[in-house]
């Protein structure tokens, strides 16, 4: 068991380092080639590279419930632990994004729920889910306010870190992401083999949380630095990405068989999204009380899902 824990922690560390290098390399590429910074930002912030890598590696190894659980666990962790921490540490309540940006992920959740209704996600359904995410990105790109925030973040990321050549930085980052995801999934499989925990729970509660650990900083730091739009953009973009695009890509790698624990993670993700979206739409802002609610919801889900 100790070795499995070391694999999980080591995999998460390598994933984080690789993702940071890949993001900086991609940001520099966008700036030098004149690509849309917001388009790149929507893809990078909405799709957490560490979690994407872990989900695809798990699917490729036939651990499809781990893959699905990891995808949904990423959303659960982001909306509870990461966003809850940001709300509690914020100097003042966080303002809501544009209502359209708050509501768009609801369509992604509905499409994802339909694909999961029979506990199987086939390759044709995977194509449909990826197409849904592409549509989401196209719609989000039109949001001018979010585009400005994403552009600022991409420029900062592009200027940080070692000044390595872009192909080296981007290639090394992606290689580390692959390596870290492989190690992380190996640790999850070892835990699965040595405990009575279900595959979906290991994917959602263990791998999903570790792969998304850096998301705490991506939520807390923008809020503390006066860029709450970046935190909320990452928040809602992740819902759409992981309930459609990432789920679809994993199904293209290997058709998914989703167990009850992974399905419970999807339900928890949808519930947490509903809470945050309702607060934003009705009150126009979210504060510390909302942070406490989502953190309590995360604890309740862990207790419930561990027994599923």
Q: What would the DSSP string read from start to end of 162-191?
A: ----HHHHHHHHHHHHHHHHHHHHHHHHHH
- The three-state secondary structure class of 286 is strand
- The three-state secondary structure class of 47 is coil
Closest CA to 275 of 71, 76, 46: 76
DSSP secondary structure letter of residue 34: T
Domains in the chain (CATH in brackets) are 2-305 (1.20.1420.30)
Outline where the chain has alpha helix (H): 2-33, 37-46, 49-60, 64-77, 83-89, 99-116, 123-141, 144-159, 166-194, 199-201, 208-211, 214-224, 228-240, 246-253, 260-283, 288-305
Q: Check: CB of residue 8 under 8 Å from CB of residue 210.
A: yes
What mean pLDDT is reported for the chain?
74
pLDDT for 211 beyond 60: no
pLDDT on residue 63: 82
pLDDT on residue 109: 94
pLDDT band at 259 (very low <50, low <70, confident <90, very high): confident
How far apart CA 158 and CA 85 sit, in angstroms, is 26
Output the six-digit token pair for 21. Answer: 């290098």
pLDDT on residue 236: 87
Task: Name the range with the highest mean pLDDT among 61-65, 93-97, 182-186.
Answer: 93-97
pLDDT on residue 145: 45
pLDDT for 65 beyond 70: yes
Mean pLDDT of 102-111: 92
303: CB partners within 8 A, 6+ apart: none
pLDDT for 178 beyond 70: no
Name which residue leads in pLDDT, 284 or 156: 284
144: CB partners within 8 A, 6+ apart: none
How far apart CA 271 and CA 76 sit, in angstroms, is 9
Task: Name the range with the highest mean pLDDT among 90-99, 160-169, 287-296.
Answer: 287-296
- The three-state secondary structure class of 1 is coil
Name which residue leads in pLDDT, 17 or 109: 109
88: CB partners within 8 A, 6+ apart: 288, 291, 292, 295
Sign of CA dihedral 258, 263, 264, 268: positive
pLDDT for 307 beyond 50: yes
Mean pLDDT of 233-239: 84
Q: Check: CB of residue 192 under 8 Å from CB of residue 199.
A: yes
pLDDT band at 141 (very low <50, low <70, confident <90, very high): confident
**For strand 285-286 and strand 256-257, is the pairing parallel, antiparallel, or unpaired?**
unpaired
pLDDT for 91 beyond 70: yes
pLDDT tens readout for residues 29-42: 555 655 544 455 55
Mean pLDDT of 230-258: 88
How far apart CA 42 and CA 140 sit, in angstroms, is 8
Q: Check: CB of residue 16 under 8 Å from CB of residue 50.
A: yes
């Amino acid at each position: 068991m100790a070795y499995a824990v070391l694999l999980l922690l080591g995999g998460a560390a390598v994933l984080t380092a690789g993702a940071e290098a890949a993001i900086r390399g991609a940001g520099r590429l966008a700036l030098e080639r004149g690509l849309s910074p917001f388009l790149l930002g929507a893809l990078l912030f909405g799709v957490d590279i560490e979690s994407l890598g872990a989900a695809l590696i798990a699917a490729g190894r036939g651990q499809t419930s781990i893959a699905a659980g990891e995808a949904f666990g990423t959303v659960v962790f982001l909306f509870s632990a990461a966003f809850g921490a940001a709300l509690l540490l914020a100097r003042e309540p966080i303002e809501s994004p544009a209502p359209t940006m708050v509501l768009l992920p609801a369509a992604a959740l509905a499409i994802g729920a339909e694909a999961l209704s029979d506990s199987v996600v086939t390759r044709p359904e995977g194509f449909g889910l990826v197409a849904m995410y592409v549509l989401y990105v196209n719609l989000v790109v039109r949001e001018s306010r979010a585009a400005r925030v994403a552009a600022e973040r991409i420029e900062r990321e592009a200027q940080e870190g070692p000044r390595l050549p872009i192909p080296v930085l981007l290639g090394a980052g992606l290689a580390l992401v692959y390596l870290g995801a492989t190690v992380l999934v190996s640790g999850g499989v070892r835990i699965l083999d040595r405990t009575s925990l279900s595959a979906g729970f290991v994917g959602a509660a263990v791998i999903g949380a570790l792969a998304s650990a850096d998301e705490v900083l991506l939520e807390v730091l923008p809020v503390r630095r006066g860029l709450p739009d970046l935190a909320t953009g990452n928040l809602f973009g992740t819902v759409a990405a992981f309930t459609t695009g990432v789920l679809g890509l994993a199904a293209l790698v290997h058709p998914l068989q989703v167990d009850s624990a992974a399905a419970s993670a999807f339900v928890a993700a949808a519930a947490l999204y509903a809470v945050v979206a309702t607060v934003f739409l009705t009150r126009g802002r979210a504060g510390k009380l909302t942070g406490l609610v989502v953190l309590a919801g995360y604890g309740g889900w862990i207790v419930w899902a561990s027994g599923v």
